[in-house]
Amino acid sequence: MTATSTAADHLVRAVNVTKAFGTNEVLKGIDLAVDAKEVVCLLGPSGSGKTTFLRLINQMESLTGGRIWVGGELIGIEDRNGKLHVRKDKDIARQRSRIGMVFQRFNLFPHMTALENVMEAPVKVKRQSKDSVKKEALELLEMVGLAERARYYPSQLSGGQQQRVAIARALAMKPELMLFDEPTSALDPELVGEVLGVMRNLAQEGTTMIVVTHEMGFAREVADRVVFMDQGVVVEEGPPKEVLMNPKEERTKTFLRRVKQQAEAEAAHDEELARILAEAASGE
Ligand SMILES: Nc1ncnc2c1ncn2[C@@H]1O[C@H](COP(=O)(O)OP(=O)(O)OP(=O)(O)O)[C@@H](O)[C@H]1O
Ligand SMILES: [Mg+2]
């Protein structure tokens, strides 16, 4: 396969991507292709390089080796008459504006309302008129179920609500690709569902998404493909039914067993807590 054909065939194409921080080789040759409208869930133990990989796609870090194409364009560098050149800052900013990213921590601007947070990038970066941006921002807030909270500040919103504003904010730039890095892992358990619900709707609407998550239910139901990473390599990938229910590789099996045990321990802990609280309430 030539570089040009790979670029045109997929929305994201990573070829032999490596990343080192000093002597620490974090990614050791990642190959991954994501098609338009595909939802790919990225799983793997802590430190396996999931966040680093997303940050490379979004050019928040620079590649040590390999190539990444997004929407048919090489990111960070360009091919001019067969010679590779580093792209200009403005060009990199344009490429980054095609990608929306949602982090574990919501990273909203604390001094802006939900509506202002969503409006910020289209007004400042795309220089669109405030009126049209406002209309679209309100529609996005409605889509994530927060039309009534448009004038609230982040500190007046729950974690789940803040994360839904963060999703609306990323969507405001009309990205071709959405990257999610453990978007629910900082949330109280009862707030996880509302955020996953919004993400599920996005997936159903055909949004191309790469989602780092430990939410196995979401991966099973929503992902077209699951990619399991460990120690900087892709160990196994395939449809969720295969990778999650019938993994081939020993490392995948060990990881899934551990995630399951952890979920069970958390559920038991929640049950115990509920019992203690109920007892305390009845004794009052
Ligand atoms: N900016 C950085 N400078 C130096 N080392 C880094 C940097 N970012 C990440 N690393 C290292 O890269 C490795 C992979 O980190 P990364 O955050 O990508 O893992 P992860 O799979 O996202 O883990 P987690 O599930 O805990 O979020 C870790 O050993 C980490 O210490
Ligand atoms: Mg991470």
Does any ligand 1 atom lie closer than 6 A to the CB of residue 23?
Answer: no
The predicted model gives 89-104 an average pLDDT of 94
Res 3 pLDDT > 50? no
Backbone angles phi, psi at 98, to 5 degrees: -85, -5
Q: How confident is the model at residue 5 (pLDDT cuts 50, 70, 90)?
A: very low
Q: Helix or strand or coil: residue 236?
A: strand
126-178 per-position pLDDT tens digit = 888 899 999 999 999 999 999 999 999 999 999 999 999 999 999 999 999 99
Q: Which atom of ligand 1 is nearest to the CA of 44?
A: 21
The rounded percent of the chain whose pLDDT value lies above 90 is 81
- To which H or E segment does residue 73 belong? strand 73-74
Confidence at residue 1, expressed as pLDDT on a 0 to 100 scale: 42
Q: What is the pLDDT of residue 18?
A: 97
Ligand 1 lined by 49 (C-beta under 6 Å): yes
The token pair at 219 is: 């991966």
Residue matched to tokens 């990273």: 107
Decide: 19 in ligand 1 pocket, CB within 6 A: no
Distance 83 CA to ligand 1 centre (A): 32
The whole-number pLDDT of residue 7 equals: 56
What's the mean pLDDT in 71-96? 92
Q: Say yes or no: CB of residue 21 within 6 Å of ligand 1.
A: yes
Rg (CA), the chain: 20
Ligand 1, atom 27, residue with closest C-alpha = 46
pTM, entire model: 0.92
Predicted pLDDT of residue 8: 62
Can you give the pLDDT at residue 263?
Answer: 85
Which helix (DSSP H) or strand (DSSP E) does residue 216 occupy? helix 216-222
pLDDT of residue 4: 46
Sign of CA dihedral 58, 62, 64, 65: positive
Mutational pocket test of ligand 1: of 17, 18, 19, 21, the residue with most ligand atoms within 8 Å of the beta carbon: 21
pLDDT of residue 284: 67
Sheet holding 209-212, edge to edge: 99-102, 177-181, 209-212, 39-43, 225-230, 233-238
> How confident is the prediction for the chain on average, in pLDDT?
93
CA angle (265, 267, 269) in 5-degree steps: 70
Tell me the one-letter amino acid at 110.
Answer: P
- What confidence score (pLDDT) does residue 224 get? 97
User: What is the rounded distance in angstroms from the CA atom of residue 83 to the CA atom of residue 94?
Assistant: 21
Q: How do residues 254-269 score in pLDDT, each as one tens digit?
A: 999 999 898 888 888 8
Ligand 1, from 23, 52, 53, 54: best to mutate by most atoms within 8 Å of Cβ? 52
Closest of 67, 127, 57 to residue 95, by C-alpha: 57
Beta-sheet strands, E only, within 112-217: 177-181, 209-212
Upper half-sphere CA count for residue 88 (Cβ side, 13 Å): 2
